[in-house]
C-alpha cells in the first residue's frame, strides 16, 4: 500500500526532533569527572567563528583556531591560538569545579597580551569573570591558576582582552572537581561573591572573616571590595556605639594599614559597610564595625542620608520577623585620599536577600524571595529616598563583576536577580 505523504512527513519530523534533542543534550549535559583539554584533536584551521569537536566535547572558537605550527607554543601536536579579542568556550557543562589551570605563552615572536577566564552556570546565557586578568608575555608556557569552588553545573570561556593582533597560545586546560569546602562563616551562607581567598598572592581579593562579618579586601585600594553580613534579631541589643575607629592589625605584614585618622580633612565620612547599629548585641560586636577595613570614603549626603535610611529600613524588616543577608561595597574610582592609600568610589551599592526567620536558609530561597539592590552616586547632591536608586541584582553584578548569592540554585537566581524590587 502506498504510504501517505503525511506519514512520511511525520516520521521525518520525529527523526529530526530526536536528532535535535540529542544535539541539545550533547551541548548541555554536565560531565562529572575532572576535565583535561589539550587541543590534540585539532580540527579548526581558520580564525572564523565556529564550533569544533575536541577531546572533551564541543567548543566554540572565535578569532581562534587549533594551531600546530613550530611557532605555536604547545606540549603536544596542537594548542589553541587566539588573536585580537578572540574567545573560546565550552558548549557543555561540567558538574562542579574546584580549580582551573591553563598554560599560556605568546605565539612566535608576538608581543604581550592579556586574557581572562569567565564562567557560566546558566548554559552560557550570562558570564562572570573568574579571578584576575592574566598577562602573557613569555615564549614558554606558563601556568595560570584560578580558584572556582562552585558545585553547580558550570562551563568556562577564555577571552583575549588586549594585545591587538598579537597572538597567544593556550594549552592544557585542567578543570578539577569540586569538593565541599570546610564550613564557612554564617556571613557567606549565600556565597562568596568574588571567590575571595585568604592568600597574600591575591592582595586585591583577600578574604577576611570576622565573627561579625566577612569581606574581600583590596590592598591597593585600601578598603573592602565587598562586605557581607547576616542580620537577624540575635545581632541586635543595647550596646552603645563605640566610635573607636582604628587600623585593622590582622592585615598581612607589610600591607599599609589605614588609620582611623586617614580620612581627616578629606570631606569624606568613614562610611561603614557593616553598620554599627547592625551589631549592638555586645560592645565587642559593635567595636568590630569600627575597623578601617570595614570603611569606604562616603560623602555625608550619601553616608548620613540615603545610605543610613536603607540601613534603618533593613533593621525594620528584622523587627517584622525577617532575617537578611546583605552585601555592600563601592564601585568606580574618583581619586585617592590618605596620601594615595585609599580609593574613593564613584558609587556605593548594596544587595539584600530578605527571608522570614527560619533555618536551612539557602534552601528556603525561592523565586518569590524578595531581593533588594541599589546603586547610589557617592555625591553631595544625592536624594534621601533609597527607593529611587533601586536596580536589579543583575545590574549590580554587571558593574562589579561579582556573582551574588551563588549558593542559591541558578534557576532561582535568574528570577530574583533579574527583577527590580518594588515593595
Q: Which residues contact 64 (CB under 8 A, 6 or more apart)?
A: 44, 47, 80, 81, 82, 83, 86, 87, 88
β partners of residue 65: 81
- Give the integer Cα–Cα distance in Å for 139 and 358: 56
89 is catalytic: no
The vertex-399 CA angle with 145 and 301, nearest 5°, equals 130
- Give the integer Cα–Cα distance in Å for 295 and 7: 72
Sign of torsion over alpha carbons 58, 59, 60, 62: negative
Neighbours of 358 (CB within 10 A): 10
CB 52 within 8 A of CB 58: yes
Sign of torsion over alpha carbons 52, 57, 60, 65: negative
- Give the integer Cα–Cα distance in Å for 32 and 34: 7
Cell of 18: 530526536
How is residue 295 annotated by DSSP?
Answer: E
> Which candidate in 89, 104, 272, 341 is catalytic?
272
- Give the integer Cα–Cα distance in Å for 68 and 91: 23
Q: Report in angstroms the alpha-carbon separations of 158 from 86, 103, 124, 403.
A: 9, 12, 13, 18
Neighbours of 25 (CB within 10 A): 10
- Give the integer Cα–Cα distance in Å for 67 and 82: 9
Burial of 140 from C-beta contacts in 10 A (0-12 / 13-18 / 19+): exposed
| E strand spans, 275-368 | 295-298, 322-331, 335-337, 342-344, 347-356
Q: Which residues contact 177 (CB under 8 A, 6 or more apart)?
A: 32, 33, 34, 96, 97, 98
Residues labelled catalytic: 272
Amino acid at each position: 500500500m502506498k504510504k501517505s505523504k503525511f506519514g512520511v512527513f511525520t516520521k521525518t519530523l520525529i527523526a529530526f526532533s530526536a536528532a535535535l534533542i540529542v544535539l541539545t543534550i550533547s551541548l548541555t549535559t554536565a560531565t562529572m569527572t575532572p576535565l583535561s583539554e589539550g587541543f590534540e584533536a585539532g580540527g579548526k584551521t581558520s580564525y572564523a567563528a565556529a564550533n569544533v569537536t575536541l577531546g572533551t566535547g564541543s567548543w566554540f572558537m572565535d578569532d581562534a583556531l587549533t594551531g600546530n605550527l613550530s611557532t605555536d607554543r604547545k606540549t603536544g601536536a596542537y594548542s589553541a591560538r587566539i588573536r585580537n579579542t578572540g574567545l573560546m568556550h565550552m558548549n557543555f557543562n561540567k558538574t562542579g569545579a574546584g580549580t582551573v589551570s591553563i598554560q599560556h605563552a605568546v605565539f612566535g615572536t608576538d608581543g604581550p597580551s592579556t586574557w581572562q577566564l569567565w564562567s557560566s552556570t546558566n548554559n552560557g546565557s550570562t558570564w562572570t569573570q573568574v579571578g584576575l586578568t592574566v598577562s602573557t608575555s613569555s615564549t614558554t608556557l606558563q601556568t595560570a591558576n584560578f580558584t572556582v569552588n562552585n558545585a553547580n553545573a558550570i562551563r568556562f570561556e577564555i577571552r583575549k582582552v588586549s594585545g591587538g593582533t598579537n597572538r597567544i597560545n593556550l594549552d592544557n586546560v585542567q578543570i578539577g572537581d569540586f569538593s565541599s569546602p570546610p564550613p564557612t562563616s554564617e556571613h557567606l551562607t549565600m556565597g562568596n561573591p568574588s571567590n575571595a581567598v585568604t592568600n597574600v598572592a591575591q592582595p586585591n581579593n583577600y578574604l577576611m572573616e570576622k565573627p561579625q562579618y566577612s569581606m574581600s579586601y583590596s590592598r591597593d585600594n585600601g578598603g573592602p571590595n565587598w562586605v557581607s553580613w547576616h542580620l537577624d534579631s540575635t545581632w541586635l541589643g543595647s550596646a552603645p556605639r563605640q566610635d573607636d575607629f582604628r587600623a585593622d592589625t590582622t592585615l598581612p605584614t607589610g600591607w599599609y594599614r589605614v588609620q582611623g585618622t586617614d580620612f581627616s580633612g578629606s570631606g569624606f565620612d568613614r562610611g561603614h559597610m557593616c553598620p554599627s547599629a547592625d551589631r549592638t548585641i555586645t560592645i565587642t560586636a559593635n567595636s568590630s564595625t569600627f575597623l578601617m577595613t570595614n570603611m569606604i570614603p562616603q560623602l555625608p549626603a550619601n553616608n548620613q542620608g540615603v545610605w543610613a535610611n536603607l540601613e534603618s529600613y533593613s533593621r525594620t524588616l528584622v523587627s517584622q520577623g525577617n532575617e537578611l543577608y546583605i552585601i555592600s561595597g563601592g564601585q568606580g574610582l574618583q581619586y585617592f585620599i590618605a596620601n594615595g592609600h585609599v580609593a574613593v568610589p564613584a558609587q556605593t551599592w548594596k544587595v539584600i536577600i530578605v527571608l522570614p526567620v527560619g533555618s536551612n536558609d539557602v534552601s528556603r530561597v525561592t523565586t518569590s524571595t524578595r531581593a533588594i539592590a541599589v546603586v547610589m552616586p557617592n555625591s553631595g547632591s544625592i536624594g534621601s529616598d533609597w527607593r529611587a536608586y533601586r536596580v536589579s541584582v543583575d545590574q549590580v553584578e554587571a558593574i562589579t563583576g561579582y556573582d551574588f548569592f551563588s549558593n542559591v540554585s541558578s534557576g532561582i537566581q535568574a528570577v530574583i536577580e533579574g527583577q527590580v524590587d518594588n515593595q
